[in-house]
Amino acid sequence: MTNLEPLNNYDKFQESFSNLNDPRRTSKGNLMYTINEILLLTISSVLCNITSYTGIVNFGEQKLDWLQKILPFKNGIPSHDTLGKFFQQLNPEEFNKCFITWAKNLSSLKDGEIIAIDGKDISGAKTNFGKVKHIVSAFATSAKMTIGQQTVSEKSNEITAIPKLLDLLFIKDCIVTTDAMGCQKKIAEKIISKQANYVLQLKENHPKMYDSIKMLFAEDLVDSANLNEDSGHGRIETRICEIIDDVHLLYGAQQWDSLKSAVRITSLREDKKTGKVSTESRYYISSLGCSAKKMNDIIRKHWAIENNLHWQLDVILSEDNDLKNIEASAENMNIIRKMALNMIEADNSIKKSKVIKMQTAMLNDKYREKLLFS
């Protein structure tokens, strides 16, 4: 068989996963499918928005000639049971480390990249104790790519998962944003130790500090302010960002590594149809000393993780309907879904939606190769 030209880059693709241990009993031999064949088949299928094991098998059977131009597949396509057992047993922590290496090679982060960290439940997947599986992701908001993730352990929460995730990431000169769950002294210290900056939402989980920041803004000690107006989805939203640079009066400020500013975002939302206006104030602490305009933009971009990752995992790739709840299946398939979204986002050759790009990948072998190996 003659190799297609883009397949020369397969070795580079494979290198990112070369340290992944095969969970099967390889010492006894008799393995009909290599780990590389299973991963290539599954990633290629999910790239075409095919996420069920039976669908992946069908894709492989229809595209066997194409797959054999890349890897031997001398025993054809594995059954859905084989796929299920493999992903149940594959160590998700090892797979995640390989994913982080792959994502780093796919796109280099620019200085000042905003890394939004937030968690998401996989509603169809439960732990051994019956809890819904919860995964914390790190999302580069300008690159629109996931750069790593960490599963929250059954007896823990995001407070312990976020430092573990940060330990794995390459985020020098980036800006890390979190919601109130991530507003912890040790998390701030960890971010600074990674040579990055932080913007952390502050709520009543730090009651004395929260009351103190509200009091500071009530006393009109603002050093700079910025107003941004946005219109869409039947409403007009005005976001006012105010910054206090002198934080020595903020309760407990000295306990937070490199704390430089206190921030208030006031959002005014007007319904275009009814004219009704609602107002909400949110508070943040940050290691940045920057303009109110820049801070307004940073905080607005944090929510990209909801629209450009969580929403797409659920609506485009139907993650919440996935019932792969046995052992590590849900976590491993979550990584593969994120790989697919990253590949599609990295491609600028066609200006289409992600859904259309996935349909094109299903129908066009050369485009699928380009996404996989460029």
What would the DSSP string read from start to end of 202-247? E-TTSHHHHHHHHHHHHTT--SEEEEEEEEETTEEEEEEEEEE---
State which of 18-32, 269-283, 315-329 shows the largest mean pLDDT. Answer: 269-283
Mean pLDDT throughout 222-229?
95
Whether 5 has a pLDDT exceeding 50, the answer reads no
Q: pLDDT grade, residue 24 (50/70/90)? A: confident
Residues with Cβ < 8 Å from 74, sequence gap 6 or more?
A: none
Q: Which of 16, 170, 162 is nearest to 108 (CA)?
A: 170
Whether 123 has a pLDDT exceeding 70, the answer reads no
pLDDT of residue 374: 79
Mean pLDDT throughout 118-141?
75
Looking at per-residue pLDDT, the higher value among 237 and 282 belongs to 282
Whether 2 has a pLDDT exceeding 70, the answer reads no
pLDDT of residue 256: 98
Whether 27 has a pLDDT exceeding 80, the answer reads no
Question: Is residue 110 exposed (0-12), middle (13-18) or buried (19+ Cβ within 10 Å)?
Answer: exposed
Whether 173 has a pLDDT exceeding 60, the answer reads yes
pTM of the shown model: 0.90
Mean pLDDT throughout 5-20?
72
Strand order in the sheet with 197-202: 145-151, 132-140, 114-126, 175-178, 197-202, 277-286, 261-271, 235-244, 224-232
Mean pLDDT throughout 210-218?
96
Q: Which of 361, 350, 374 is nearest to 63 (CA)?
A: 361
pLDDT of residue 1: 29
Q: pLDDT grade, residue 15 (50/70/90)? A: confident
* Alpha-helix residue ranges (DSSP H) falling in the chain: 10-15, 35-47, 53-62, 64-67, 80-89, 92-106, 158-168, 185-193, 207-218, 292-302, 304-305, 311-315, 329-346, 354-363, 365-373
Domain ranges of the chain: 5-89+328-373, 96-310
pLDDT of residue 270: 87
- CA gap 97, 219 in Å, rounded: 47
Whether 135 has a pLDDT exceeding 60, the answer reads yes
Whether 126 has a pLDDT exceeding 60, the answer reads no
Q: pLDDT grade, residue 285 (50/70/90)? A: very high
pLDDT of residue 322: 64
pLDDT in tens, 246-266: 999 999 999 999 999 999 999
pLDDT of residue 105: 86
pLDDT in tens, 312-332: 888 888 876 665 556 688 899
Token duo for residue 218: 């009530």
Average pLDDT, the chain: 89
pLDDT in tens, 143-171: 999 999 998 876 568 899 999 999 999 99
pLDDT in tens, 81-91: 999 999 999 99
pLDDT of residue 26: 63
